[in-house]
Amino acid sequence: MESNAARPELRALGELEAAIGHIAEELAGWRRRALKAETQRAELGVGHDAVGARERILELEQVNADLEERLAGARDRVEHLHARLQFLEEQVGAEGPPR
């Protein structure tokens, strides 16, 4: 009498059942994610445009980068003016009190 482990068709059937079980688990996970995404989408409202919102975020990030660059330039100019002012104050102090 042959054992179940020795019969290739039973072994293949067991492997198939395991594979189907893994696929079912994977499918359940994807379903949970889809339901969660649908719930989040519903919470955002019917008129919510995810693509438009992403484009606006990218636009605002660019505006922010531009403003940071302008601020850095302004900061450099202020530091330069401050250094010139200190130099002039030192020059006036070296010449003595005004006459």
Q: Let me know whether 74 and 92 are in one domain.
A: yes
pLDDT in tens, 48-86: 677 788 889 999 999 999 999 999 999 999 999 999 999
pLDDT of 28 over the 90 cut: yes
Q: Say how many domains are in the chain.
A: 2
Q: Let me know whether 60 and 88 are in one domain.
A: yes
Structural domain range at position 59: 50-99
Instruction: Report pLDDT for 51.
Output: 78
**Cβ neighbours around 10 below 10 Å, total:** 13
pLDDT of 99 over the 70 cut: no
The structure's pTM equals 0.44
